[in-house]
Copies of this chain bind each other. A is one copy, B any other.
Amino acid sequence: MDPSSLSEDALATPAPRRQAMVPEATVARLPIYLRALHVLADDGQTTVSSEALAEVAGVNSAKLRKDLSHLGSYGTRGVGYDVAHLIEQVSAELGLLRHCSVVLVGVGNLGRALAGYGGFASRGLAIDALLDADRNRVGEQIAGLTVRHIDELCDVVSKGSIGVIATPAQAAQQVCDRLVAAGVTSILNFAPTVLSVPPGVDLRKVDLSLELQILSFHEHRKAALAQGAPV
C-alpha cells in the first residue's frame, strides 16, 4: 500500500460496493441469534420484537437490530420480526441451507466428543467424514461414521468442505497442510497450537483451556482484591 499517493481514495474504493459487507462481529453473533430463534420457534412464537429476541440472545436490542439490518430489512415496524422468515434468512446468510461437507481429523477424546456433538447436526453442519493417522482406529464406528485413514483425505473432501482439526498439537500443522493441499479453504483448529495457512484460507481456532485460564485470571484478581482492597 502507498497511502501517500492516495489522498482521495474515497471515490475509488477497491471492492466496497459489493452488496454484503457484513461486519465480522455481526457474523459472530448470527449463530447465537439463530439458536435463540429456534428456541422461540419451538415455543410456538411466530413473531418477535428486537427487544424480546435480544433478551433471549443476551445482547443489546439496538445491536441486534443493526446486525439484522446488515442482511436486509426483514422486520415489520410496529410488529417485529417473523420468526420463521428470520430463521430462513439467517440460515441462508450462514450458508447452512445447502449441505456443507465437514471433515474431522483426529478421533481422540475430543474428536469423539465432536463427532457425537448434536449441536452440529441440528444446524445443518453434520460431520460426514472421520479421519485419523492411527491405523488401529481406522474402521472404528463412531456416531454412525466409519473412521478412515488420513491418506484417504482427498477422497472425502470436496470443493467447499470445512476441515476440523482435533489432533494432538504436534500433528496439527502437518494435518493442516494436508487439508490445504487437498483444497480445503476453511479450517477449524481445536489443537492448542498456532497454525499457519496460506492466504485465502480461513483459519479459526477454539482453545478449550484458554477460556479457563482467563477465568482463572479473574478469580485470581478477585481473590487479590478481596484480600488487599478492603483497607
Please state if B36 and A119 are interface contacts (CB–CB under 8 Å): no
Q: Give the residues in chain B near A212, CB-CB below 8 Å.
A: 102, 120, 125, 162, 164, 188
Q: Which residues of the other chain, B, contact A27 by a CB distance below 8 angstroms? A: 214, 217
Structural contact, B113 and A28, CB atoms closer than 8 A: no
Number of A positions contacting B (CB below 8 A): 64
The CA-CA distance from A4 to B60 in the complex, in Å, is 22
Select which of B30, B192, B208 is within 8 A of A206 by beta carbon. B208
By the criterion CB–CB under 8 Å, are A209 and B125 in contact? yes
Which positions 155-208 of chain A face chain B at CB distance < 8 Å?
160, 162, 164, 185-188, 192, 194, 196, 202, 204-208
- Chain B residue numbers with a CB within 8 Å of A34 are 213
**A190 — nearest CB in chain B belongs to which residue?**
B208
- Whether B117 lies near A219 (C-beta < 8 A) is no
Shortest beta-carbon distance, A114 to chain B, in Å? 7
Chain B residues contacting A77 (CB-CB under 8 Å) are none
Partner of A162 from B56, B187, B215 at Cβ < 8 Å: B215
The segment from A43-51, A79-87, A88-96 that touches chain B is A88-96
Q: In the complex, which residues of chain B have a beta carbon less than 8 angstroms from the beta carbon of A162?
A: 212, 215-216, 219
Binds B, one of A5-13, A133-141, A146-154, A221-229: A221-229
Closest to A205 in B: B211
- By a CB distance below 8 angstroms, the chain B residues around A113 are 109-110, 112-113
Footprint of B on A, CB under 8 Å? 15, 18, 20, 27-28, 30-32, 34-36, 56-58, 93-96, 100, 102, 109-110, 112-114, 116-117, 119-120, 123, 125, 160, 162, 164, 185-188, 192, 194, 196, 202, 204-223, 225, 229
Give 6 nearest A-B pairs by CB, closest first. A95-B220, A113-B113, A119-B209, A58-B194, A31-B213, A109-B113
